[in-house]
Structure 1
Amino acid sequence: MTRSIPLGVYAPLPAFFNDQDETDVAKPGVVPVVSATMGEAAHLDFQERIQLIQALRSALNENGLHGTPIIAGVGATSTRETISLAKDAAAAGAEFVLVIAPSYYASTLKANPTAIKRFFIDVASKSPVPVVIYNFPMVAGGIDLSSDDVVDIARAAPNICGIMLSCGNIGKVSRITSLLDGSFKILAGFIDFLLPAVSIGSAGAISPLPNIAPEFAMELWRATQSLDSATDWSKARRLQEIASLAEAELLKGGVAGLKYLLHHRFGYSATPRLPLQPLSEDTVAYLSNNTFLKNLMAMS
């Protein structure tokens, strides 16, 4: 079974059942991710997760994007349910699954790191498609895999092909890439450290920013792949600065903020799933008039 995930930029799509947004993001080369944090995975029921994958696969195929892979979040509170979701996601058209640590008993699991490792190894052994670990302590009850944990899991589970580091720890990128072979890929969990991450071995980034600026995101990615001269570095740094400033503002609005910006730009629903609430008028005004976001979208 292949372990290789594509190099590049990934976008966690919001939970829309709308073909156009999905293909607008994917056509420039961005890899779509469904049922992740910004995709409101915690508020989707089982059938919705599968329907989103099916709708995305159908939309990609209809637009000639047969070779564009789908990464599907299959996070759940138990090993059994995570494995079940991974199998159903694969059957629905996902080529890879994104697995976050179960957080309901986070304090117990943090006290026993072996249990966390066992969780990922067990899921990978039963998943019909390669697994990407999703390390995001903020939404996983504080569970934060160390670089040693990641190396141990990867060596014990050949079906694990990479990790998304939303912990923001750039040192982990360096340590993991130095200890594992090139088939294991590391994705920065935010685009705001794509350039430094790529310089020490990262294969790309997963970020909400490509949802609103896919062409710009791919321009930044291409710039990080051509760093042969001082001019190349200067261009990449300039684009990275724009991305970093804009992503920081985008993240202030959370899921509701991303949905609002997509509504403002493309006309999609701006309403997040309950119990999340729509943005306040003050936050709407802030995002609408934000200089960094305006500069970003003017370049897309």
Structure 2
Amino acid sequence: MVTTAADLGVLMAAIASPADPDGALRTDLLAALVEDYVRRGVEGIYCCGSSGEGLLLTDDERTQVVETAVEAAADRIPVVAHVGALSTRDAISLAQRAERAGASALSMIPPIYYSYGAHAVVDHYRAVLDAVDLPLIVYNIPQFTGTEFTLESAGALLGDPRVIGLKQTAHNMYALERMKDAFPDKAYINGFDEVFVPALAAGARGTIGTTVGLQIELFLQARRLLEQGDLPGAQRVQSRINRVISELVAVDVFPAAKYLSGRSAGGAGSLGDCRRPFRPLSPADRARLDALGEELDGFLAEV
């Protein structure tokens, strides 16, 4: 079945990549995490992005993550594989592996480190698209890549029918709205959980986020209230979402979210530390996050 923009305008969890104390991938915990997310209402899984430490994993590990997520999802929700890499050759290889694993769609950051011209960036994406039969979501995360996609810089890609959406991990709501206005058939997907409600108002159809799996019930409630025309209610829920985010950021967002995801993973337990150069969480960090988890439990109990 061909994945469309409508299939991806949903609430997707940017899933962590569980590991044992030695750093080896734990596919059993990953499968348990997917199952828990599906049970609680998550509408899609996004693998090997920032939250999944994709650029810190080997190519074989990234493939394992996608294979495990696809098998665990069992066609109930879409699984998107992030295949961004330093070189076009590596991105093509990862894309082909993800296609063989059964991913619903691909996503990709632009090439990083060197300063590439706009034409080189577009050529990079098109080379990957030419190598597979899967649709692609452009991943706009300028604070990490140094490349910002706007209507002017993304127009060539958004005009390609194989590109079915753009993940806007940026606070530029004006750019999102302008792209939406020019290419209304694409899925514009929010990537910053802290502006979920504003992004929906600007034209986003869904979200892919680090904390979606942690607090899917709040995201569902915010969307429902907005659809009902209750903007103040949706804003109150966004404030609760942001309370959790602010605490995670204060600790170190990706290691903190990974820790808290293990706590809520249907009894799966610890998902392990993030890979170096991320620092391990201290006992004080874990205590702070345990307290946050109890506070989040209270938020979720009220939904």
Fold in common (TM above 0.5): yes
Equivalent of residue 68 in structure 2, options 30, 55, 71? 55
Distance 1:173 1:164 in 2: 10
Residue correspondence of structure 1 range 87-98 to structure 2 within 5 A = 87-98=96-107
Query: In the alignment, what sits opposite 1:118?
Result: 123
Q: Distance in 1 between matches of 2:55 and 2:135?
A: 22
Stretches of structure 1 that go unaligned for 5 or more consecutive residues are: none
What is aligned with 2:238?
Answer: 240
Q: Is the 8 A contact 2:215 2:241 kept in 1?
A: no
Q: What is the TM-score of this pair, normalised by structure 2?
A: 0.86
Aligned-partner Cα distance in 2 for 1:127–1:35: 18
Deviation at 1:294, TM superposition (A): 4.4
Question: Relative to structure 1, is the Cα distance of residues 244 and 87 closer, same or farther in structure 2, using a 3 angstrom cutoff?
Answer: same
Could you say what secondary structure the match of 1:215 adopts? helix
Selected match of 1:177 from 164, 175, 180? 180
Q: Which runs of 5+ in 2 are unaligned?
A: 19-26
Runs of 4+ with >6 A deviation: none
* Aligned residue identity for 1:127: V
1:196 offset after TM fit, Å?
Answer: 1.6
Matched residue type, 2:96:
K
Deviation string 1:37-61 (CA, Å, 9 cap, x unpaired) is 0101011111111111111122222
> Helix, strand or coil for the counterpart of 1:98?
strand
Q: How many residues align?
A: 283
Classify the secondary structure of the residue corresponding to 1:211: coil
Alpha-carbon distance between aligned partners in 2 of 1:194 and 1:221, rounded to the nearest angstrom: 9
CA–CA distance in structure 2, aligned partners of residues 209 and 297 of structure 1: 14
Aligned residue in 1 for 2:248:
250
In structure 2, the residue matched to 1:263 is 262
Superposed counterparts of 1:6-85, under 5 Å: 6-16=8-18, 17=27, 18=29, 19-27=31-39, 28-61=41-74, 66-85=75-94
TM-score normalised by structure 1 residue count:
0.87
Q: Determine if contact 2:15/2:210 at 8 Å carries over to the other structure.
A: yes
User: How far is the alpha carbon of 1:282 from its aligned partner?
Assistant: 3.3
Query: Contact 2:189–2:204 (CA<8 Å) still a contact in 1?
Result: yes
Post-superposition Cα deviations, 1:13-53, rounded to whole Å, max 9, x if no partner, equal 11022222111112313311110101010111111111111
SS in 1 for 2:239: helix
Distance apart, 1:246 and its partner CA: 1.8
Q: Deviations over 1:228-248 (max 9, x none)?
A: xxxx22221111111123223
Q: Which amino acid aligns with 1:297?
A: D
Higher deviation after alignment, 271-280 or 79-88: 271-280
Query: What is the letter of the counterpart of residue 298 of structure 1?
Result: G
Q: Distance in 2 between matches of 1:190 and 1:247?
A: 10
* 1:134 equivalent in alignment to 2:132: no
Cα distance in 2 between the residues matched to 1:211 and 1:181: 28
1:147 aligns with 2:151: yes
> Which AA in structure 1 matches 2:142?
P
